[in-house]
């Protein structure tokens, strides 16, 4: 391919990179214009999403970038999630006296890294994308500088993130040493009949590094502390889009580079998924802080997505993509509800704070109920269909034990979702809540519509689009 053709494949990333640089300079010279910078960033994300949806497909930069149905599907979802985070976060910071233009710029840079992750065609572009989005997230976690918990969350995230980066690099070096290349197609040729011991060790390290990024157990240790300490809108962002980006990267790496070693990595994924489901379900039972509770919920739900991916076929990847998109809606909406709630100027983040919420804020309480029931997997909410697809893929791939144990974990986790609903609907109120800000209320209620049965209409588009994306990985 010519260089001009390669550039055409990278239009979404170029739009984000150029937009971030221009807005960074604009914000530096006009720091009081943060609202304009924020809305301009939303337009940049919309332009990048349009470019991803309509751009050409192919491989460029000597195999380092892949533009296909999978990258387009993931980028549109990631950029949409990023666009929602900007107004939600900017207004939240403004109400706390933190008026900065860096927030939307960091969101753009994180989205750029995630766009590179889902388009990665070799181990080098994989690592560059992971680090670009991670560095932006470290700063976002600590952006509320006057809050000690936020600073602690950013530091913990950075230190443990450096550990995961070391695992990724070590695994990549082993794979390169034993396979002779960093390009996915070349690695696939080297392991077409199974991975040798050296490549297998490298693959295990790569899986461990990516498991940290999706907060899969036992690499989840950062998640509850970072979720609790980071600003609520920031948690709404990095509990959603980065997880989808990492899972798509997971799928591309395993399918395109290690497709000949499915039998070997399938066992690792099944164990990883089941441990995540168990840790998320049982550890969530004792949580009182809702941000920590949903941290464990995210660990469990990533486990379900990994179980779908462990099927090792196109149906499994399709189920994982549908599951992650629908879960993104639930987790973003739930944290939008938390961002909207306060009492006497103090954020409401614990289970006790939600006592009698339905009597004070019925709209927000209904939305939180919908997101909780959807995450639980109760029919006919969206989470039910997401789990149906995952368990169906696992059963079809001959993994009935994984499907049954995943279902048991879902039943255990039902306790803490139902406890929250009981507290909101039936406990006595603790006092009047503050009026919810308009942007958080609109985002929460709008996303709640996709958790109610109207999501079936959305599935008419999401499910076949995820199917086209899954087949782009070349799995049967």
Express each pLDDT in 201-214 by its tens digit.
999 999 999 999 89
In angstroms, the CA 143 to CA 241 distance is 18
Instruction: Identify the band that residue 97 occupies on the pLDDT scale cut at 50, 70 and 90.
Output: confident
pLDDT of residue 203: 92
Mean residue pLDDT of the chain comes to: 89
Q: Cβ neighbours of residue 44 under 8 Å, at least 6 residues apart?
A: 15, 16, 19, 20, 23, 108
Q: Is 170 exposed, middle or buried (0-12, 13-18, 19+ CB in 10 A)?
A: middle
Q: At 162, list the tokens.
A: 């450096």
Average pLDDT over residues 157-162: 88
- Percentage of residues of the chain with pLDDT beyond 90: 57
Contact 308, 421 (CB under 8 A): no
pLDDT of residue 238: 87
Residue 178: alpha-carbon gap to chain centroid: 32
Average pLDDT over residues 110-129: 94
Q: Cβ neighbours of residue 447 under 8 Å, at least 6 residues apart?
A: 329, 330, 332, 333, 336, 367, 371
Q: At 362, list the tokens.
A: 């019925």
- Across the strands, what pairs with 342? 347
In angstroms, the CA 256 to CA 60 distance is 16
Residue 411 has pLDDT above 70, yes or no: yes
What pLDDT digit, counting tens, does each position of 285-304 carry?
Answer: 999 999 999 999 999 999 99
What pLDDT digit, counting tens, does each position of 164-202 carry?
Answer: 899 999 999 999 999 989 999 999 998 887 778 889 899
What pLDDT digit, counting tens, does each position of 18-62 carry?
Answer: 999 999 998 888 877 778 888 999 999 999 999 999 988 998 888
């Amino acid at each position: 391919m010519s260089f001009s053709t390669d550039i055409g494949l990278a239009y979404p990333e170029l739009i984000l990179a150029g937009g971030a640089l221009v807005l960074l300079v604009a914000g530096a010279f006009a720091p009081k214009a943060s609202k304009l910078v924020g809305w301009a960033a939303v337009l940049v994300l919309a332009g990048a999403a349009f470019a991803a949806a309509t751009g050409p497909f192919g491989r460029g930069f000597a195999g380092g970038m892949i533009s296909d149905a999978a990258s387009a599907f993931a980028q549109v979802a990631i950029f949409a999630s990023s666009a929602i985070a900007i107004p939600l976060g900017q207004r939240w910071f403004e109400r706390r006296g933190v008026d900065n233009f860096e927030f939307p710029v960091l969101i753009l840079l994180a989205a750029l890294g995630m766009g590179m992750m889902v388009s990665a065609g070799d181990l080098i572009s994989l690592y560059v994308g992971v680090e670009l989005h991670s560095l932006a997230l470290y700063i976002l976690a600590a952006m509320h500088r006057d809050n000690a918990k936020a600073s602690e969350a950013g530091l913990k995230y950075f230190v443990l993130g450096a550990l995961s980066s070391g695992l990724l690099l070590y695994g990549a070096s082993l794979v390169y040493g034993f396979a002779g290349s960093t390009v996915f197609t070349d690695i696939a040729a080297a392991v077409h009949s199974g991975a040798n011991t050296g490549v297998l060790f490298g693959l295990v390290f790569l899986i461990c590094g990516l498991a940290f990024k999706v907060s899969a157990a036992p690499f989840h240790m950062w998640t509850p502390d970072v979720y609790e300490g980071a600003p609520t809108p920031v948690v709404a962002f990095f509990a959603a889009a980065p997880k989808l980006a990492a899972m798509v990267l997971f799928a591309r790496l395993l399918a395109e580079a290690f497709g000949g070693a499915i039998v070997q990595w399938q066992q690792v994924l099944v164990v990883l998924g089941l441990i995540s489901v168990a840790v998320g379900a049982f550890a969530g039972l004792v949580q009182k802080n809702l941000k920590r509770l949903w941290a464990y919920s995210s660990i469990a739900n990533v486990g379900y997505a990994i179980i779908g991916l462990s099927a090792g076929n196109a149906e499994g990847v399709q189920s994982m993509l549908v599951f992650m998109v629908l879960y993104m809606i639930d987790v973003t909406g739930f944290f939008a509800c938390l961002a909207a709630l306060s009492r006497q100027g103090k954020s409401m983040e614990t289970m006790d704070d939600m006592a009698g919420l339905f009597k004070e804020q019925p709209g927000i309480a209904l939305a939180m109920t919908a997101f909780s029931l959807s995450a639980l997997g109760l029919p006919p909410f969206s989470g039910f269909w997401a789990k149906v697809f995952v368990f169906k893929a696992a059963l079809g791939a001959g993994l009935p034990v994984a499907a049954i144990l995943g279902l048991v974990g879902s039943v255990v986790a039902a306790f803490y979702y139902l406890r929250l609903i009981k507290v909101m609907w039936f406990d006595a109120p603790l006092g009047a809540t503050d009026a919810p800000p308009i942007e958080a209320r609109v985002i929460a209620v709008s996303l709640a519509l996709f958790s109610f049965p109207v999501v079936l209409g959305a599935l008419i588009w999401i499910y076949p689009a995820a199917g086209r994306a899954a087949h782009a990985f070349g799995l049967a």
